[in-house]
Protein backbone atom coordinates (compact mmCIF):
# COMPACT_ATOMS: atom_id res chain seq x y z
CA UNK A 1 0.00 0.00 0.00
CA UNK A 2 2.85 2.40 0.75
CA UNK A 3 4.39 1.87 -2.68
CA UNK A 4 1.01 2.26 -4.37
CA UNK A 5 0.33 5.46 -2.45
CA UNK A 6 3.75 6.84 -3.46
CA UNK A 7 3.14 6.00 -7.13
CA UNK A 8 -0.33 7.55 -7.14
CA UNK A 9 0.97 10.69 -5.43
CA UNK A 10 3.66 11.02 -8.10
CA UNK A 11 1.03 10.49 -10.81
CA UNK A 12 -1.23 13.18 -9.37
CA UNK A 13 1.62 15.68 -9.20
CA UNK A 14 2.62 15.00 -12.80
CA UNK A 15 -0.93 15.21 -14.17
CA UNK A 16 -1.50 18.43 -12.22
CA UNK A 17 1.63 20.07 -13.63
CA UNK A 18 1.11 22.53 -16.53
CA UNK A 19 4.75 22.01 -17.53
CA UNK A 20 4.20 18.25 -17.77
CA UNK A 21 1.09 18.77 -19.93
CA UNK A 22 2.95 21.07 -22.31
CA UNK A 23 5.85 18.66 -22.66
CA UNK A 24 3.53 15.69 -23.31
CA UNK A 25 1.65 17.61 -26.01
CA UNK A 26 4.96 18.30 -27.78
CA UNK A 27 5.98 14.63 -27.73
CA UNK A 28 4.08 12.70 -30.49
CA UNK A 29 4.29 9.31 -28.77
CA UNK A 30 2.35 10.51 -25.69
CA UNK A 31 0.30 13.32 -27.23
CA UNK A 32 -2.77 11.09 -27.60
CA UNK A 33 -2.85 10.52 -23.82
CA UNK A 34 -3.04 14.24 -23.07
CA UNK A 35 -5.68 14.74 -25.75
CA UNK A 36 -7.79 11.88 -24.42
CA UNK A 37 -7.66 13.23 -20.87
CA UNK A 38 -8.63 16.68 -22.14
CA UNK A 39 -11.55 15.21 -24.08
CA UNK A 40 -12.74 13.21 -21.08
CA UNK A 41 -12.69 16.31 -18.87
CA UNK A 42 -14.49 18.30 -21.55
CA UNK A 43 -17.23 15.66 -21.77
CA UNK A 44 -17.69 15.80 -17.99
CA UNK A 45 -17.92 19.60 -18.14
CA UNK A 46 -20.28 19.61 -21.12
CA UNK A 47 -22.38 16.63 -20.02
CA UNK A 48 -25.24 18.78 -18.74
CA UNK A 49 -25.43 20.58 -22.08
CA UNK A 50 -25.51 17.26 -23.93
CA UNK A 51 -28.38 16.06 -21.76
CA UNK A 52 -30.31 19.27 -22.36
CA UNK A 53 -29.89 18.95 -26.13
CA UNK A 54 -31.43 15.48 -25.89
CA UNK A 55 -34.19 16.76 -23.58
CA UNK A 56 -35.08 19.54 -26.04
CA UNK A 57 -35.22 17.05 -28.93
CA UNK A 58 -37.56 14.80 -26.93
CA UNK A 59 -39.79 17.69 -25.82
CA UNK A 60 -40.13 18.85 -29.44
CA UNK A 61 -40.75 15.27 -30.67
CA UNK A 62 -37.99 15.79 -33.24
CA UNK A 63 -37.22 12.08 -33.52
CA UNK A 64 -40.84 11.30 -34.30
CA UNK A 65 -41.16 14.22 -36.70
CA UNK A 66 -38.17 12.94 -38.66
CA UNK A 67 -39.11 9.27 -38.53
CA UNK A 68 -40.72 9.41 -41.98
CA UNK A 69 -37.77 11.12 -43.63
CA UNK A 70 -35.91 14.43 -43.98
CA UNK A 71 -37.52 17.80 -43.32
CA UNK A 72 -36.24 21.33 -43.76
CA UNK A 73 -35.35 23.70 -40.95
CA UNK A 74 -38.35 25.88 -41.84
CA UNK A 75 -40.74 22.93 -41.75
CA UNK A 76 -39.45 21.80 -38.37
CA UNK A 77 -39.51 25.33 -36.95
CA UNK A 78 -43.15 25.75 -37.96
CA UNK A 79 -44.10 22.37 -36.47
CA UNK A 80 -42.24 23.12 -33.24
CA UNK A 81 -43.39 26.74 -32.94
CA UNK A 82 -39.83 28.02 -32.66
CA UNK A 83 -37.93 30.67 -34.64
CA UNK A 84 -35.83 29.13 -37.39
CA UNK A 85 -32.52 30.51 -36.11
CA UNK A 86 -33.14 29.17 -32.59
CA UNK A 87 -34.18 25.75 -33.83
CA UNK A 88 -31.22 25.55 -36.20
CA UNK A 89 -28.87 26.04 -33.26
CA UNK A 90 -30.49 23.02 -31.58
CA UNK A 91 -30.38 20.99 -34.81
CA UNK A 92 -26.67 21.64 -35.24
CA UNK A 93 -25.95 20.72 -31.63
CA UNK A 94 -27.99 17.52 -31.99
CA UNK A 95 -26.07 16.64 -35.15
CA UNK A 96 -22.78 17.01 -33.25
CA UNK A 97 -24.12 14.40 -30.80
CA UNK A 98 -25.29 12.06 -33.61
CA UNK A 99 -28.92 12.49 -32.59
CA UNK A 100 -29.63 14.09 -35.99
CA UNK A 101 -27.70 14.55 -39.21
CA UNK A 102 -27.75 17.18 -41.90
CA UNK A 103 -29.27 16.11 -45.21
CA UNK A 104 -28.51 18.30 -48.18
CA UNK A 105 -28.26 22.06 -47.95
CA UNK A 106 -31.16 22.74 -45.58
CA UNK A 107 -32.70 19.48 -44.40
CA UNK A 108 -32.26 17.15 -41.46
CA UNK A 109 -32.83 13.48 -40.77
CA UNK A 110 -32.32 11.12 -37.85
CA UNK A 111 -28.80 10.37 -36.71
CA UNK A 112 -27.91 6.89 -35.53
CA UNK A 113 -28.51 7.69 -31.85
CA UNK A 114 -31.78 9.47 -32.61
CA UNK A 115 -32.96 6.46 -34.61
CA UNK A 116 -31.88 4.09 -31.82
CA UNK A 117 -33.87 6.07 -29.26
CA UNK A 118 -37.06 5.31 -31.17
CA UNK A 119 -36.39 1.60 -30.70
CA UNK A 120 -36.66 2.02 -26.93
CA UNK A 121 -39.82 4.04 -26.18
CA UNK A 122 -38.98 4.18 -22.48
CA UNK A 123 -36.01 6.43 -23.21
CA UNK A 124 -38.27 9.39 -23.97
CA UNK A 125 -40.19 8.82 -20.73
CA UNK A 126 -36.97 8.76 -18.71
CA UNK A 127 -35.64 11.89 -20.46
CA UNK A 128 -38.84 13.78 -19.64
CA UNK A 129 -38.66 12.53 -16.07
CA UNK A 130 -35.09 13.77 -15.64
CA UNK A 131 -36.03 17.44 -15.57
CA UNK A 132 -36.68 16.82 -11.86
CA UNK A 133 -33.14 15.60 -11.29
CA UNK A 134 -31.69 18.49 -13.29
CA UNK A 135 -33.66 20.88 -11.13
CA UNK A 136 -32.26 19.30 -7.96
CA UNK A 137 -28.71 19.39 -9.33
CA UNK A 138 -28.84 23.07 -10.26
CA UNK A 139 -27.47 23.69 -6.74
CA UNK A 140 -25.63 20.42 -5.97
CA UNK A 141 -24.20 21.56 -2.64
CA UNK A 142 -27.65 22.57 -1.41
CA UNK A 143 -28.93 19.13 -2.39
CA UNK A 144 -26.08 17.39 -0.56
CA UNK A 145 -26.76 19.45 2.57
CA UNK A 146 -30.51 18.82 2.59
CA UNK A 147 -32.43 16.51 0.25
CA UNK A 148 -35.68 16.51 2.20
CA UNK A 149 -37.46 18.80 -0.27
CA UNK A 150 -35.89 17.59 -3.51
CA UNK A 151 -38.11 17.62 -6.59
CA UNK A 152 -37.23 14.02 -7.36
CA UNK A 153 -38.25 12.69 -3.95
CA UNK A 154 -41.63 14.37 -4.32
CA UNK A 155 -42.27 12.55 -7.59
CA UNK A 156 -41.93 8.95 -6.47
CA UNK A 157 -44.63 7.01 -4.73
CA UNK A 158 -42.51 6.95 -1.58
CA UNK A 159 -43.30 10.68 -1.32
CA UNK A 160 -46.70 11.03 -2.98
CA UNK A 161 -47.63 14.25 -4.70
CA UNK A 162 -50.05 16.35 -2.63
CA UNK A 163 -53.56 16.45 -4.02
CA UNK A 164 -53.41 13.03 -5.69
CA UNK A 165 -55.00 9.91 -4.30
CA UNK A 166 -52.94 6.82 -3.51
CA UNK A 167 -54.31 5.17 -6.65
CA UNK A 168 -53.28 8.16 -8.80
CA UNK A 169 -49.79 8.20 -7.33
CA UNK A 170 -49.52 4.45 -7.93
CA UNK A 171 -50.57 5.00 -11.54
CA UNK A 172 -47.94 7.71 -12.10
CA UNK A 173 -45.21 5.66 -10.48
CA UNK A 174 -46.12 2.46 -12.30
CA UNK A 175 -46.38 4.04 -15.75
CA UNK A 176 -42.78 5.24 -15.62
CA UNK A 177 -41.55 1.99 -14.10
CA UNK A 178 -43.39 -0.05 -16.75
CA UNK A 179 -41.76 1.93 -19.55
CA UNK A 180 -38.30 1.58 -18.07
CA UNK A 181 -38.86 -2.06 -17.01
CA UNK A 182 -39.30 -3.03 -20.66
CA UNK A 183 -35.60 -2.15 -21.12
CA UNK A 184 -34.48 -5.00 -18.93
CA UNK A 185 -37.04 -7.84 -19.00
CA UNK A 186 -35.61 -9.35 -22.18
CA UNK A 187 -32.05 -9.04 -20.89
CA UNK A 188 -32.82 -10.69 -17.55
CA UNK A 189 -34.74 -13.64 -18.99
CA UNK A 190 -32.21 -14.19 -21.75
CA UNK A 191 -29.51 -14.71 -19.11
CA UNK A 192 -31.55 -16.60 -16.53
CA UNK A 193 -33.96 -19.15 -18.00
CA UNK A 194 -36.98 -20.09 -15.90
CA UNK A 195 -37.60 -23.25 -17.92
CA UNK A 196 -38.73 -26.03 -15.61
CA UNK A 197 -39.61 -23.67 -12.77
CA UNK A 198 -43.10 -23.83 -11.25
CA UNK A 199 -43.87 -20.36 -9.93
CA UNK A 200 -42.33 -16.90 -9.95
CA UNK A 201 -42.91 -14.40 -7.15
CA UNK A 202 -41.93 -10.95 -8.45
CA UNK A 203 -41.45 -8.81 -5.35
CA UNK A 204 -41.99 -5.11 -6.00
CA UNK A 205 -43.08 -6.12 -9.49
CA UNK A 206 -45.10 -2.99 -10.18
CA UNK A 207 -47.67 -3.28 -12.94
CA UNK A 208 -46.45 -6.74 -13.91
CA UNK A 209 -44.24 -6.03 -16.92
CA UNK A 210 -41.51 -8.48 -15.94
CA UNK A 211 -43.89 -11.17 -14.71
CA UNK A 212 -45.98 -10.96 -17.88
CA UNK A 213 -42.88 -11.32 -20.06
CA UNK A 214 -41.82 -14.37 -18.04
CA UNK A 215 -45.26 -15.94 -18.54
CA UNK A 216 -45.11 -15.34 -22.29
CA UNK A 217 -41.70 -17.02 -22.54
CA UNK A 218 -42.24 -20.01 -20.28
CA UNK A 219 -45.52 -21.79 -20.88
CA UNK A 220 -45.35 -23.98 -17.78
CA UNK A 221 -44.74 -21.08 -15.39
CA UNK A 222 -47.15 -19.38 -13.03
CA UNK A 223 -46.44 -15.92 -11.61
CA UNK A 224 -47.51 -13.69 -8.76
CA UNK A 225 -46.66 -10.02 -8.30
CA UNK A 226 -46.32 -8.72 -4.76
CA UNK A 227 -46.53 -4.94 -4.43
CA UNK A 228 -48.51 -2.20 -2.70
CA UNK A 229 -52.28 -2.78 -3.02
CA UNK A 230 -52.91 0.08 -5.46
CA UNK A 231 -50.03 -1.12 -7.63
CA UNK A 232 -51.10 -4.78 -7.46
CA UNK A 233 -54.43 -3.78 -9.02
CA UNK A 234 -52.52 -2.52 -12.08
CA UNK A 235 -50.66 -5.83 -12.39
CA UNK A 236 -53.95 -7.76 -12.33
CA UNK A 237 -55.25 -5.45 -15.05
CA UNK A 238 -52.18 -6.15 -17.19
CA UNK A 239 -52.59 -9.91 -16.81
CA UNK A 240 -56.23 -9.63 -17.86
CA UNK A 241 -55.48 -7.39 -20.84
CA UNK A 242 -52.80 -9.77 -22.09
CA UNK A 243 -54.86 -12.93 -21.56
CA UNK A 244 -52.58 -14.19 -18.80
CA UNK A 245 -55.02 -14.05 -15.88
CA UNK A 246 -55.17 -17.85 -15.55
CA UNK A 247 -51.45 -18.05 -14.80
CA UNK A 248 -50.74 -14.59 -13.41
CA UNK A 249 -52.09 -12.82 -10.33
CA UNK A 250 -51.12 -10.03 -7.94
CA UNK A 251 -51.14 -9.69 -4.16
CA UNK A 252 -51.22 -6.42 -2.27
CA UNK A 253 -48.85 -5.85 0.63
CA UNK A 254 -45.79 -4.03 1.91
CA UNK A 255 -42.57 -5.94 1.14
CA UNK A 256 -40.84 -4.24 4.08
CA UNK A 257 -43.54 -4.93 6.66
CA UNK A 258 -45.44 -8.04 5.55
CA UNK A 259 -44.24 -11.62 5.24
CA UNK A 260 -43.64 -12.54 1.62
CA UNK A 261 -45.99 -15.18 0.18
CA UNK A 262 -44.58 -18.70 0.26
CA UNK A 263 -44.73 -21.41 -2.39
CA UNK A 264 -42.75 -19.91 -5.28
CA UNK A 265 -39.56 -21.62 -6.39
CA UNK A 266 -38.25 -18.38 -7.95
CA UNK A 267 -38.30 -15.01 -6.19
CA UNK A 268 -37.25 -12.02 -8.28
CA UNK A 269 -36.10 -8.57 -7.23
CA UNK A 270 -35.88 -6.58 -10.46
CA UNK A 271 -34.17 -3.22 -9.87
CA UNK A 272 -35.39 -3.07 -6.28
CA UNK A 273 -32.33 -3.13 -4.04
CA UNK A 274 -30.56 0.02 -5.23
CA UNK A 275 -33.65 2.11 -4.42
CA UNK A 276 -33.32 1.38 -0.69
CA UNK A 277 -30.86 1.79 2.16
CA UNK A 278 -28.94 -1.12 3.67
CA UNK A 279 -31.24 -1.82 6.62
CA UNK A 280 -34.30 -2.18 4.41
CA UNK A 281 -32.42 -4.26 1.85
CA UNK A 282 -31.19 -6.67 4.53
CA UNK A 283 -34.71 -7.00 5.89
CA UNK A 284 -36.04 -7.75 2.40
CA UNK A 285 -33.35 -10.33 1.63
CA UNK A 286 -34.01 -12.12 4.93
CA UNK A 287 -37.76 -12.10 4.17
CA UNK A 288 -37.04 -13.64 0.76
CA UNK A 289 -34.93 -16.34 2.41
CA UNK A 290 -37.73 -17.19 4.84
CA UNK A 291 -40.25 -17.44 1.99
CA UNK A 292 -38.01 -19.50 -0.30
CA UNK A 293 -38.46 -23.18 -1.02
CA UNK A 294 -35.44 -25.46 -0.43
CA UNK A 295 -34.95 -25.79 -4.20
CA UNK A 296 -35.63 -22.11 -4.78
CA UNK A 297 -33.73 -19.52 -6.77
CA UNK A 298 -33.36 -15.82 -5.97
CA UNK A 299 -33.10 -13.70 -9.12
CA UNK A 300 -31.70 -10.18 -8.78
CA UNK A 301 -31.29 -7.60 -11.53
CA UNK A 302 -29.51 -4.39 -10.56
CA UNK A 303 -27.44 -1.57 -11.98
CA UNK A 304 -24.17 -2.04 -10.11
CA UNK A 305 -21.37 0.33 -9.26
CA UNK A 306 -17.83 -0.58 -10.29
CA UNK A 307 -19.04 -1.88 -13.66
CA UNK A 308 -16.02 -1.84 -15.96
CA UNK A 309 -18.15 -2.17 -19.11
CA UNK A 310 -20.24 0.83 -18.08
CA UNK A 311 -18.06 3.42 -16.32
CA UNK A 312 -20.00 6.28 -14.79
CA UNK A 313 -23.05 4.23 -13.79
CA UNK A 314 -22.15 4.46 -10.12
CA UNK A 315 -21.60 8.22 -10.34
CA UNK A 316 -25.04 8.70 -11.88
CA UNK A 317 -26.88 6.54 -9.36
CA UNK A 318 -25.08 7.97 -6.34
CA UNK A 319 -26.54 11.41 -7.09
CA UNK A 320 -29.87 10.25 -8.51
CA UNK A 321 -30.67 8.09 -5.50
CA UNK A 322 -29.52 10.77 -3.07
CA UNK A 323 -31.96 13.18 -4.70
CA UNK A 324 -34.66 10.50 -4.69
CA UNK A 325 -34.33 10.20 -0.93
CA UNK A 326 -33.07 6.65 -0.41
CA UNK A 327 -30.84 3.95 -1.80
CA UNK A 328 -27.38 3.65 -3.26
CA UNK A 329 -25.63 1.73 -6.04
CA UNK A 330 -23.75 -1.29 -4.72
CA UNK A 331 -20.88 -3.34 -6.06
CA UNK A 332 -21.18 -7.03 -6.82
CA UNK A 333 -18.96 -7.75 -3.81
CA UNK A 334 -21.27 -5.77 -1.51
CA UNK A 335 -24.43 -7.52 -2.76
CA UNK A 336 -22.72 -10.89 -2.40
CA UNK A 337 -21.82 -10.01 1.20
CA UNK A 338 -25.41 -8.99 1.98
CA UNK A 339 -26.85 -12.12 0.36
CA UNK A 340 -24.58 -14.39 2.36
CA UNK A 341 -25.47 -12.55 5.58
CA UNK A 342 -29.18 -13.07 4.75
CA UNK A 343 -28.77 -16.84 4.35
CA UNK A 344 -28.00 -17.30 0.65
CA UNK A 345 -25.13 -19.07 -1.08
CA UNK A 346 -23.90 -19.89 -4.58
CA UNK A 347 -24.12 -16.24 -5.70
CA UNK A 348 -23.47 -16.05 -9.44
CA UNK A 349 -23.44 -13.33 -12.06
CA UNK A 350 -25.29 -14.49 -15.18
CA UNK A 351 -24.21 -11.78 -17.61
CA UNK A 352 -26.03 -8.93 -19.33
CA UNK A 353 -26.50 -7.48 -22.80
CA UNK A 354 -26.62 -3.98 -21.29
CA UNK A 355 -24.56 -3.76 -18.08
CA UNK A 356 -25.17 -0.01 -18.16
CA UNK A 357 -28.79 -0.73 -17.23
CA UNK A 358 -28.73 -4.00 -15.36
CA UNK A 359 -26.56 -6.94 -14.28
CA UNK A 360 -28.21 -10.27 -13.54
CA UNK A 361 -27.39 -12.27 -10.39
CA UNK A 362 -28.77 -15.47 -8.87
CA UNK A 363 -28.41 -17.05 -5.45
CA UNK A 364 -29.70 -20.18 -3.75
CA UNK A 365 -30.71 -20.75 -0.13
CA UNK A 366 -27.84 -21.82 2.08
CA UNK A 367 -28.19 -25.04 4.02
CA UNK A 368 -29.32 -23.18 7.13
CA UNK A 369 -31.17 -19.81 7.10
Query: Of residues 175 and 160, which shows the higher confidence score?
Result: 175
- Write the CA distances from 240 to 169, 247, 253, 283, integer angstroms: 22, 10, 20, 32
**Complete domains list, the chain, with CATH:** 19-118 (1.10.10.10), 175-365 (3.40.50.150)
Rounded to an integer, the average pLDDT of 159-175 is 48
Q: What pLDDT score was predicted for residue 298?
A: 97
pLDDT band for 19, please (50, 70, 90 cuts).
Answer: low
CB 278 within 8 A of CB 264: no
Query: Of residues 176 and 168, which shows the higher confidence score?
Result: 176
**302: nearest Cα among 347, 341, 332:** 332
| 259-271: pLDDT as tens digits | 999 999 999 999 9
pLDDT band for 362, please (50, 70, 90 cuts).
Answer: very high
> Which range has the worst mean pLDDT, 65-74, 96-105, 122-131, 284-293?
122-131
Q: What pLDDT score was predicted for residue 355?
A: 82
CB 297 within 8 A of CB 266: yes
Q: What pLDDT score was predicted for residue 163?
A: 43
Bridge partners of 297, per DSSP, are: 266
Q: Could you write out the DSSP letters of every residue in 95-128?
A: HHTTSEEEETTTEEEE-HHHHHHHT-THHHHHHH
The verdict on pTM exceeding 0.75 is yes
User: Would you give the end-to-end CA distance of the chain in angstroms?
Assistant: 38
Q: Is the pLDDT of residue 80 over 70?
A: yes
Query: Of residues 160 and 295, which shows the higher confidence score?
Result: 295
> Which range has the worst mean pLDDT, 56-60, 131-135, 221-225, 247-251?
131-135
Q: What pLDDT score was predicted for residue 357?
A: 80
Euclidean distance between CA atoms 250 and 224, whole angstroms: 5
Q: Is the pLDDT of residue 35 over 90?
A: no
Contacts (Cβ under 8 Å, ≥6 apart) of 136: 143, 147, 150, 151, 152, 323
Euclidean distance between CA atoms 283 and 287, whole angstroms: 6
Q: Is the pLDDT of residue 274 over 60?
A: yes
274 is catalytic: yes
Q: Is the pLDDT of residue 13 over 90?
A: no
Highest mean pLDDT among 38-52, 222-236, 347-361: 222-236
Query: Of residues 63 and 1, which shows the higher confidence score?
Result: 63
CB 48 within 8 A of CB 93: no
pLDDT band for 127, please (50, 70, 90 cuts).
Answer: confident
How wide is the angle at C-alpha 284 spanned by C-alphas 279 and 289, nearest 5°? 125
* Mean per-residue pLDDT of the chain: 85
From the list 21, 129, 131, 274, the catalytic residue is 274
| 327-344: pLDDT as tens digits | 999 999 999 999 999 999
Amino acid sequence: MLLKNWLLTRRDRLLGSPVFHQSVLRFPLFRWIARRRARELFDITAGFVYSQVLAACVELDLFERLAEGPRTSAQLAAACDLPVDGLERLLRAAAELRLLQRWGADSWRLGDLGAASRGSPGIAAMVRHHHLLYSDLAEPLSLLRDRSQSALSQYWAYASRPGLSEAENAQRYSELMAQSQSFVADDVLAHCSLEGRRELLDVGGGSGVFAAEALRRFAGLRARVFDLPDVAVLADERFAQEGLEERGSALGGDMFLDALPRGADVISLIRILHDHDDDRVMGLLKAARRAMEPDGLLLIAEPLSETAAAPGVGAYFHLYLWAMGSGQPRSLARIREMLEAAGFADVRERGSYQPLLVRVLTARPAATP
